[in-house]
DNA sequence: ATGCGTGCAAACGATTTGCAGCCGG
DNA sequence: CCGGCTGCAAATCGTTTGCACGCAT
């Protein structure tokens, strides 16, 4: 059994920041947010905490077009997809229509197993356009 | 107007390697393939060439789960998706069903523009499983 | 000739990790 | 008190870039 994570000041700070922010943010951006809030936390700790949260499925992770990891505390815990603004990270949770079953069907048809799929939408939101 | 690329030994070597290989490969893997073939090419040149080929849409690029870029010379030039083996990069080109229109519809519905989408399937092929 | 293309090594930027000290349970 | 957490700095690692030289055109 994994011991539950310790409630440290830093972990709380990161969790709080994620709870407030509604958009996908990089570890570095979160680190900056924390710093400006006064809840300064070491960058390495931010990375470690986000990794832990992601593993515990408490936050969603995805990679932007530059390959950076972005994190976000999503409303629904079930599997879903996102429409993310390239500029500010603003996010809209969306339902992948039939994607799920389609994915495993196609995969199986070609002899592949453990099928996983990536379905994300990127765009520019109204604010970032003006 | 952009001048057409010069036909150098290195560019030819990279293009040939891509033509032979059917699977998605990283720049470093290609560099190694070239080396073992005897067509040694500088790693930086491999990166630069792949970048150029990608820009010219002669090869497809996608990021694996580690954020590395993988390249492949796809059969069809039109937009399509892939089912890629996590182990060996073996690839099957697939049609995204209604994804395209679905993407822009959803995007527009939320006030987003310049919608782009990522739809890729990852799995383990029969060979990599045995 | 001309300047794009190359190789090499240094520079980069995001992320990870080693290690000594701290503090939550 | 004890071992997981932290912070910091050093180490990774894929990828990019500066620069002097070579070669395709």
B67-79 residue pLDDT tens: 999 999 999 998 9
**Could you tell me if A69 and A84 lie in one domain?**
no
**Could you tell me if A123 and A96 lie in one domain?**
yes
In this predicted structure, the answer to whether residue B97 has a pLDDT above a threshold of 70 is no
Chain A / chain B CB contacts < 8 angstroms? 97
Full domain range(s) for residue B87: 76-130
Q: Rounded CA gap, A5 and A14, in Å?
A: 13
Torsion of CA B83, B48, B31, A66, to 10 degrees: -40
Reported as a single tens digit per residue, the pLDDT across A50-61 is: 999 999 999 999
Enumerate the nucleotides of strand C whose atoms come under 7 Å of any protein CB.
Answer: 4-10, 14-18, 23-25
In this predicted structure, the answer to whether residue B130 has a pLDDT above a threshold of 90 is no
Percent of chain A with pLDDT over 70: 98
Task: Identify, with chain letter, the residue nearest to nucleotide C8 (CA–C1').
Answer: B42
Contact partners, residue A65, CB within 8 Å, separation at least 6: A86, A122
In this predicted model, which residue has the larger pLDDT, A21 or A1?
A21
Confidence of residue A99 (pLDDT cuts 50, 70, 90): confident
- Nearest Cβ partner of A107 from B83, B97, B103? B83
**Could you tell me if B41 and B81 lie in one domain?**
no
* Mean pLDDT confidence for B33-58: 97
CATH number at residue B93: 3.30.1490.190
**Could you tell me if A66 and A80 lie in one domain?**
no
**Could you tell me if A62 and A100 lie in one domain?**
no
Spatial contact of A117 and B121, defined as CB atoms under 8 Å apart: yes
A106 and B121 within 8 Å at the Cβ level: the answer is: yes
In this predicted structure, the answer to whether residue B98 has a pLDDT above a threshold of 80 is no
Confidence of residue A3 (pLDDT cuts 50, 70, 90): confident
Q: Which two tokens stand for residue B1?
A: 């107007």
In this predicted model, which residue has the larger pLDDT, A98 or B97?
A98
Instruction: Please name the residue of chain B whose CA is at the shortest distance from the CA of residue A123.
Output: B115
């Amino acid at each position: 059994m994994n011991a539950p994570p310790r409630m440290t000041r830093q972990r709380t700070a990161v969790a709080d920041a994620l709870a407030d922010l509604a958009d996908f943010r990089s570890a570095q951006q979160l680190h900056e947010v924390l710093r400006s809030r006064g809840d300064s936390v070491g960058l390495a700790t931010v990375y470690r905490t986000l990794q832990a949260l992601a593993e515990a499925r408490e936050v969603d992770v995805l990679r932007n077009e530059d390959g950076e990891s972005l994190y976000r505390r999503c409303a629904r815990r079930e599997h879903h997809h996102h429409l993310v603004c390239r500029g500010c990270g603003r996010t809209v949770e969306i339902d992948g229509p039939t994607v799920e079953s389609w994915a495993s069907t196609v995969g199986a048809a070609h002899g592949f197993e453990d099928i996983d799929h990536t379905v994300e939408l990127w765009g520019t939101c109204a604010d970032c356009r003006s």
